[in-house]
Amino acid sequence: MDIQHNPTGTLTSASGARALEQDVRNYAGLVRSFVLKDIRTRYAGSLMGFFWTVVHPLLELLTYTFVFTVIIGVSFNDQYSTATNALFLFCGMVPWLCISESLSRCTNSIRENASLVKKLRFPPSVLCTCIVLSEAFSQVVRFSLLFGAALLVGHGLSGHLVLVVPMLVIQMFFALGIGMLLATSQVFFKDIQHLLGPALMIWMFITPIFYPASYFPKQFSPILMLNPLSHLVGVYRELILNHRVPDWGSIVIFGTTALLAFALGAFTFRRHAVEFPDLV
């Protein structure tokens, strides 16, 4: 695989992102077949098939709703019922499940597909791209369930829903960038996969998924502001459940973070891709 360099001979973040985009375009058919295969094989042999994409988060939702709203008594708004609180929980869980699964799977994607990576003409960037697209499909299925529940037990839906699409695209760039960083790191340091689990757990609980952002201690508010997922979850909730345009600051912060993560991930991945066949 050839690596694109700038005139000084060093791979830049911009050229790394362009090279990754070129890979995806050149191997669009391969990416599509890998995504379809991943979606099929993930649920092959199970009685409910891809409906496990819905059932699994629903079971988690019931558990978290019972624990946080019934036992602990957390409420996102004084006027919300248990059902409405459940919608807010689910709206935060859906993007989190997508991102956490994407990162977990991307981390081991190079080592788990060593036989493919060692092939001369196979672009390893396809592996992370397919994982992120596959998980995005699962998120779309879960969001469809959320939309239906909002119509039945919530306050309905509004035209703001169209903005969910560009936010999902930005989210995919974010997940792909971090995923490529983790995949590259895992090739050189096998302990990354063991550190990722605790890191994701901490990240989940400092993100206002199971509680409103107003519950976050004021002395730790910089953590909330610097956490890109707190902005992403807030944006989705505003668009889907509150029917209003989110704070532009949150959109800018998450969008900027996503583009920086993607540029850095693409740069790191492309720079070290030539070493992968010798290390996996």
Q: Are the C-beta atoms of 109 and 103 separated by less than 8 Å?
A: no
- Helix, strand, coil percentages, rounded to 5, for the chain: 75, 0, 25
Above 80 in pLDDT, residue 152?
Answer: yes
**Burial class (CB within 10 angstroms; exposed 0-12, middle 13-18, buried 19+) of 147:** middle
**Cα diameter, the chain:** 62
Degrees to nearest 5, angle at CA 256 with 252 and 262: 150
Q: Are the C-beta atoms of 170 and 255 separated by less than 8 Å?
A: yes
Residue 228 has pLDDT above 90, yes or no: yes
> pLDDT tens-digit profile of 170-209?
999 999 999 999 999 999 998 899 999 999 999 999 999 9
Per-residue pLDDT tens over the stretch 216-227: 888 999 999 999
Residue 194, Cβ neighbours under 10 Å: how many? Answer: 8
Contact (Cβ atoms closer than 8 angstroms) between residue 265 and residue 178: yes
Q: DSSP assignment, residue 180?
A: H
Q: Indicate if the pLDDT at residue 2 is higher than 50.
A: no
Using CA atoms, how far apart are residues 6 and 155, in angstroms rounded to an integer? 53
SS3 118: coil
pLDDT digits (tens, 9 = 90+) for 86-143: 888 899 999 999 999 999 999 999 999 988 888 867 888 899 999 999 999 989 988 9
Q: Determine how many CB atoms are found less than 10 A away from the CB of residue 214.
A: 9
What confidence score (pLDDT) does residue 225 get? 93
Q: What is the pLDDT of residue 163?
A: 95
Residues 179, 16: Cα–Cα separation, whole Å: 15
Give Cβ neighbours of residue 79 (< 8 Å, ≥ 6 apart).
none
Burial class of residue 278, CB neighbours in 10 A (0-12, 13-18, 19+): exposed
The predicted model scores a pTM of 0.87
Distance CA 59, CA 92 (A): 15
How many whole angstroms separate alpha carbon 149 and alpha carbon 187?
A: 42
